Structure 1
Amino acid sequence: MHEASSSSPEQASRSPLLRLPIELRRHIYHYVLPTTSTCDVRLQRKDFEQAERSEYNLTFVRENLGNGVWKMQKTQPKTDRETGNDIVWQRGSIGLLATSHQIHEECVDMIYGENVFVIDVAFDSIKFRYRWLLPSNLTPSRTYSFLDHFSQRNLMRIRNYVINVEHVDDYTGMIKFNCGGRGLSAGIRAQVQTLVDLLSVVPCLHRLQIHLIDGAISRVRFPSGRVHRVQDEKNYSQSQTVLDPFHRIYGVRKAEITGVSAEYGEALGRAVTATRVPA
């Protein structure tokens, strides 16, 4: 005598994995798919002890007082000026994406929606920084053109960003990009605007960390502490305006703005976390 089945023929034909609640399936996917985590990458430098002794660099800065007065300024080295260096990918398997349409959609939602993507914006590029963790605890990295490397559909799934915007000084701008002055700031702002065009239509951004790398501060470590950069202090307030396009974003759950003045950072943080008022 056969025992009556409580499940429908459609449910009986489904994969045992798909019969599980979505919460359990996501828990299983987590052990298989690539994920991001934080790692103190400073510990992997062979010269870590020597680097620790070089706590700061020295910079000559001309005060904007019309009297030609110069002052010496302590600045932090490169590893403390960029954000996202501690974000590493644990390499997993994406074979699950080829099993079924439903599993594919559930997996890519996790890969893009739950992990943190580090983006570097410069005068001539918007790069995705991919740093992965090896069994040897080394963390090699490479960059990809962010808007070209991923499909538009997957770009819309990303919810967590760490964004570095590099505003170099006029001297570096002329050397690297053959552009300076207002044109340099306009070019960087245009790249920020291109990125914001994407972020402004992504629903429910969870985390947005924006850091402005000031070109007046050298990103090269000099253990000797010698003078290495000359830059007008007034450019500090001007350079942060390249972040203005981010004011178009709203509804971010958690935002952090660094590398700018306290007033500017607080204002931009309030803007991106605000709820849009219906017209």
Structure 2
Amino acid sequence: MLFFQPSKPPTVPPPFLRLPIELRRQIYHYLLPSTSHSDSNLQCDTVKPEKSGYKLPYVHQLLGPPTWKLQTRSPKTDREGSNDVVWRRGSIALLGVNHQIHNECVDMIYGENVFVIDVNFDGIRFRYKWLLPSNLTPNRTYSFLDHFSQRNLCRIRNCVVNVEHVDDYTGMIKFNCGGRGLTAGIRRQVENLVEQLSLAPSLHKLHIHLIDKGISRQRLPSGRVHRVQDERNFAASQTVLDPFYKLHEVRNAKVTGVSTEYSESLERRMTAAR
């Protein structure tokens, strides 16, 4: 009777795995999905366009007698909310070759690309926007905490987080909730996100935008017609970002859409050591 013994794994790795890791990563880059560089897109414009269609929202004056005035603002641009982060679709077949190549590839996919996360009263969503050969950029959203595995979520290093805080009027229409309950609900979603981000060993880049239905408060701090947010409401609404104070050792932290004092305080806390 003949007995067949299982073959032993080769002691010498295949030629591809004998290449330096830096060279293997360059090869992976041509095959794996990746996002376009968005550093320049995340910066807010400081110069207003010469000719732009200005809209006139009513602003509640807090100093002096209670009055209302019209305030001009420039129209919303695609840079607000980081809408320019686009994925180049690639192949993930490499992930099934072996354990080592799988780990090296997923570290690149989740560790080097920028993930855009939208947070509002009813959920946390990953916004996937990809580029077609025709230069069209369709997009769709997925539940951020359910779409990815826990292990891959911990690999994410670069995030753009858009937190949408609407006024009571819009909140009642969209979520049937307003007042303190609306703020508390948004803050609860932010806490869920921060709980997940805190599990990552280190975050390289975290850009947080507090927006009012897609329009940055940096451009429109006092709201719009029928969506009035005076300075008192604005000071209260930015507190939905307070859970981010629990994060530490973020290499590059940026907060926009809030007051200067609040952004400096939050950025300083997130970049500080534990």
Common fold, TM-score beyond 0.5? yes
User: For 1:204 and 1:82, how far apart are their aligned partners in 2?
Assistant: 26
Instruction: Tell me, yes or no, if structure 1 residue 193 matches structure 2 residue 191.
Output: yes
| 8 Å CA contact 1:117, 1:160 repeated in 2 | yes
Q: Residues 125-171 of structure 1, C-alpha deviation per residue, up to 9 Å, x if partnerless?
A: 10100011111111111110100000000000000000000110000
Secondary structure of the residue aligned to 1:264 is helix
User: For 1:114 and 1:155, how far apart are their aligned partners in 2?
Assistant: 13
What is aligned with 2:28?
29
User: For 2:268 and 2:132, how far apart are their aligned partners in 1?
Assistant: 39
Secondary structure of the residue aligned to 1:234 is helix
- Structure with bigger RCO (C-alpha 8 Å, 6+ apart): 1
What is aligned with 2:249?
251
Within a 5 Å distance, the mapping from 1:127-142 to structure 2 comes to 127-142=125-140
What is aligned with 2:267?
269
| 8 Å CA contact 1:75, 1:217 repeated in 2 | no
Q: Residues 154-209 of structure 1, C-alpha deviation per residue, up to 9 Å, x if partnerless?
A: 00000000000011000000000111111000000000000000111211100000
User: For 1:260 and 1:86, how far apart are their aligned partners in 2?
Assistant: 21
CA separation of 1:251 and 1:55: change in aligned 2, threshold 3 A: farther
Q: Which has the higher strand share?
A: 1
1:79 to partner: Cα distance = 3.1
- In the superposition, the TM-score normalised over structure 2's length comes to 0.85
**Identical-residue share of aligned pairs (%):** 70
User: For 1:201 and 1:216, how far apart are their aligned partners in 2?
Assistant: 28
| 8 Å CA contact 1:170, 1:181 repeated in 2 | yes
1:71 to partner: Cα distance = 1.4
| 8 Å CA contact 1:35, 1:90 repeated in 2 | yes
Structure 1 unaligned spans of 5+: 1-8, 43-50, 220-225
User: For 1:190 and 1:137, how far apart are their aligned partners in 2?
Assistant: 37
Instruction: Tell me, yes or no, if structure 1 residue 238 matches structure 2 residue 236.
Output: yes
Q: Residues 241-268 of structure 1, C-alpha deviation per residue, up to 9 Å, x if partnerless?
A: 1000000000000011100000000000
Q: Residues 91-140 of structure 1, C-alpha deviation per residue, up to 9 Å, x if partnerless?
A: 11101011111101100000000000000000111010001111111111
Aligned residue pairs, count: 251
User: For 1:188 and 1:177, how far apart are their aligned partners in 2?
Assistant: 11
1:65 to partner: Cα distance = 4.4
What is aligned with 2:7?
none
What is aligned with 1:214?
212
Deviates more, 1:53-62 or 1:19-28: 53-62
User: For 2:85 and 2:76, how far apart are their aligned partners in 1?
Assistant: 16
User: For 1:93 and 1:52, how far apart are their aligned partners in 2?
Assistant: 44
CA separation of 1:165 and 1:218: change in aligned 2, threshold 3 A: closer
Instruction: Tell me, yes or no, if structure 1 residue 16 matches structure 2 residue 15.
Output: yes
Secondary structure of the residue aligned to 1:136 is coil
User: For 1:65 and 1:173, how far apart are their aligned partners in 2?
Assistant: 28
| 8 Å CA contact 2:157, 2:205 repeated in 1 | yes
Within a 5 Å distance, the mapping from 1:42-57 to structure 2 comes to 54-57=52-55
CA separation of 1:189 and 1:200: change in aligned 2, threshold 3 A: same
Q: Residues 9-37 of structure 1, C-alpha deviation per residue, up to 9 Å, x if partnerless?
A: 611xx322111111111111001000000
| 8 Å CA contact 2:52, 2:74 repeated in 1 | no
Specify the code of the residue in structure 2 equivalent to 1:198. Q
What is aligned with 1:172?
170
| 8 Å CA contact 1:35, 1:92 repeated in 2 | yes
- In the superposition, the TM-score normalised over structure 1's length comes to 0.83
